[in-house]
Each structure stands twice: as structure tokens, then as C-alpha cells.
Amino acid sequence: MASTVTSRPGYGQLLRTRGAWTFLLPGFAARQPFAMLTISIVLLVQHTTGSFGAAGAVAAATGVSMALFAPFTGRLADRLGQRAVLLPGVLVHTLSGLSLTALALSDAPLWALFAAAVPTGASVPQIGPMVRARWGVKLQGSPLRTTAAAFESVTDELTFVFGPLMATALCTAVDPAAGLLTEAALTLVGGLLFAAQKSTQPSVTSVTPGGHARVEHVSALRVPGVRVLIVAFLGIGSVFGGMQVSLAAFSESIGEPGLNGVLYGVFAAGNMLSGVVCGAVAWKVAPQRRLVLGYAALALTASGLWAAHSVVVLAGIGLLVGMCVAPALITGYTLVEGLVPAGARTEAFTWLTGAVALGQAAAVTVSGQLEDRFWDGAGFVVPMAGTVLALITLVALRSRLSTRPASRTVARGVGHRVPVAVD
């Protein structure tokens, strides 16, 4: 990447990429519900059961099922095409979300809520990874790839500014079920519009005429660097989940439940703003080193959340935590480009997204239990523990983040072999 301002690729140049807006706009609408799902479930189930522990457990079931199924969804999208996976996925998710809402409002037993939460999470459309895969097709070999990774992180965080605010406002000012109902509706409309953009989806690799050679689909999980990144993203998920439950509990403890969305919005705003800056900088430091340094800052700031006892202090520390999340996310997604073959990148992105969801699910569960059983703010211990443990792993295994040779080819055939470049 060039080190001068005049030659540095920027957001303007990225957004002028031909055909980009055809998938960006519906993609933004379709990924918005993801930021609303967990907090909508927490607020609805807590309202109907009176327990943050139960609410966190149901939300965790959704997150765990999403984390487990997301990589398989990504692999199917790489092999069958995004549209083939999206169409049934958005329909199942919408129906499951509506079922969960109806069960919660009818005071159904907890096991029934779990039964509805599992398909709701398993069918969450993986719009973010699919958009990133489409950028990979558009920008193959372009220096704009890092800018695209930053732009996508900013877009994700923009949804996490509006999503929790919207969900909290709907659940507290309209009806406890309004957040989850809106999430289901947005998923259906946005997902179908995104699936309709067939021209920009990555092509599906098929067998060559004669059936002698094809690109080999290697699981992204077999790449050591991806496994290291999964651990790092689990820690990031612990920040999201721990803060969602703990901020909600804190806001309720001071008699201002509507403040939850504002505090989480401050956290997400810091994330978004640092993401904008991160994508605009011409970095000279290697991404592996940036990830370790950025993650150390994240662990340090997250370790201060539990000590905050006022709205102003909590908002300030939350802002700092948010500012440290985006660089770690952006650098992790950027490293995938050099670690994983092109034919497995959607799967790789979904492993990382799933890791965030799994970390969030675990954090929601543990934080909910801590808030129910111990002091107000006990749930903030979870982001500290998650990021510190992930940082230790990241430092110990950072050598596995070295990128693979660009010239590597993979081929498999019968009779004779024709090498096929994977990226």
C-alpha cells in the first residue's frame, strides 16, 4: 500500500467501484437485524420472566446455534451460491423469530423458548461475510481490499449504533415484543432484496469440461491462522455480549431502562469512528503486529468496565472500549485475505462471525447469571476475562498468522492434472 496521501486508496474510490451499490444498500438493510436480535431477545424474555439469567440463556441459545451453523452456511454459499442459501434461510429465520415472540408473550416454559431460539439463531443470514466475499471478487488484486475490510467493519458498527438503539426504543416505548418483530420483518425484506442481486455474487466453482480438474474446496478451519483468529474473535464477542446484558442491568438498577440503548450506542459509536480512521490510514506496520497491539489495548480498556459506577464514567470507558474493537476486527478480516484460498473465504468469514456470536452467547449467559446472583455490574467482569484470555492465546500463537504464498495453486483430477489458481 502506498504511503503517500495522494496515492492511498480511500473510501471515495472504493464506493465508485462499479456495481458496488447494488449489493451494499440491500446488504445494509439485511444485516441491520443482526444487531437487534440479542438485545431484543434479552429485553423481551426479561420482561416476561423477570430474570436476566433466563433472558441471557435464551439469547445465548440463539448465539450458539448461529455460531455452530454459520460456517456451514458459508461453506454452502461457496459451493452452491449465496442466493441458494439465502432464500430458504431468511424464510426460516422469520418464521422462527415470530414463533419465539409468540411463545414468550404466552408465558411458555423455558424449554419451549429454547426450542424456538435454536432455529432462530441457526438461520441468521450471514450477510456480512457474503458482502465481504463480493468485495473480494470485485477487488481481486486491488490495494482497496484493506479499505473494503475497514468499510465493512464501519458498516457493521453503524448497524450496532442504530440496532440496539432501535430495539431498545421499540421494546421500552412501544411494546416488549416490537424489537423482535421488527428484526424478523427487516430480515425478510432485506434478505430477499440482497439475494436478488445475482450479478455480484461470487461464481460457484464447477468441474471443468471432461471432469479432470477443479478447484479443491479446503475447509478454512484447517488453516492454523484462522483458528487463532477465531479465538481472538471469541474475545471480541465476549465484549459485545457482556456489555449488552450488563448495560441493560445497570440502566435498570438506576431506574433509567431507556438509557441502555444510549450507553451501548456510545460504545458502538466509538467502534465505528475508530473503524473509519483505521481504514483511512496507510499502515506501515504489519497486520499481525497491529492485531496484537490493538488487542492489548482492547483487553486493557475492557478491564476497567467493572470499576465504573456512574453513567458518565461508564460511557467514557465504553467509548474507549469501542474504539479498540474496530482495529482488531478490521485487521483480523484483512488477514483472512492472505491466509485462506478464495474458494473458502465466505466460510472463513462466517467462522469469524460465528466466533463473535459464540463469544457473545457465552458472555450473555455468564453475565446474566452474575448480574442475578452478585452485585450490579458484576457482568462487566466477563469482557475483561474474555479479552485477556484471548490476548494470551494471540501472543503465544501469533506466528501462525503468517500469510500463505500468493502463487500457491491447488488442483485435483483424474488421469491428468491442470493446476488451477485459488486466488
Q: Model confidence over 1-60: pLDDT tens digits?
A: 433 333 456 777 788 888 788 888 888 888 877 778 888 898 899 888 888 778 878 888
Give the pLDDT confidence score for residue 282 in this predicted structure. Answer: 66
Give the pLDDT confidence score for residue 343 in this predicted structure. Answer: 66
Q: Model confidence over 82-128: pLDDT tens digits?
A: 888 888 989 999 999 999 999 999 988 989 999 999 999 888 888 88
Work out the angle at residue 344's Cα, subtended by the Cα atoms of residues 129 and 151, and round it to the nearest 5 degrees.
30
pLDDT, average across residues 303-308: 80
Give the pLDDT confidence score for residue 207 in this predicted structure. Answer: 42
Taking every pair of Cα atoms in the chain, the longest distance, rounded to a whole number of angstroms, is 73
Whether the per-residue pLDDT at 185 is higher than 70: the answer is: yes
> What's the sign of the alpha-carbon dihedral 399, 403, 408, 411?
positive
Whether the per-residue pLDDT at 391 is higher than 80: the answer is: yes
Q: Which SS3 state, helix, strand or coil, does residue 374 take?
A: coil
Give the pLDDT confidence score for residue 335 in this predicted structure. Answer: 82
Work out the angle at residue 411's Cα, subtended by the Cα atoms of residues 405 and 417, and round it to the nearest 5 degrees.
130
Q: Model confidence over 320-352: pLDDT tens digits?
A: 988 888 888 888 887 877 777 666 677 777 888
Between residues 226 and 309, the one the model is more confident about: 226
Give the pLDDT confidence score for residue 423 in this predicted structure. Answer: 31
Of 30, 377, 387, 119, whose CA–CA distance to 240 is shortest? 387
Neighbours of 20 (CB within 10 A): 19
Give the pLDDT confidence score for residue 213 in this predicted structure. Answer: 41
Domains and CATH numbers, the chain: 21-204+217-400 (1.20.1250.20)
pLDDT, average across residues 357-384: 80
Work out the angle at residue 86's Cα, subtended by the Cα atoms of residues 80 and 91, and round it to the nearest 5 degrees.
135
Q: Could you say which DSSP state residue 304 is in?
A: T
Neighbours of 12 (CB within 10 A): 8
Give the pLDDT confidence score for residue 17 in this predicted structure. Answer: 81
Of the pLDDT bands very low, low, confident and very high (cuts 50, 70, 90), residue 404 is: low
**H or E element at residue 98:** helix 82-105
Q: Are 321 and 298 in contact (CB under 8 A)?
A: yes
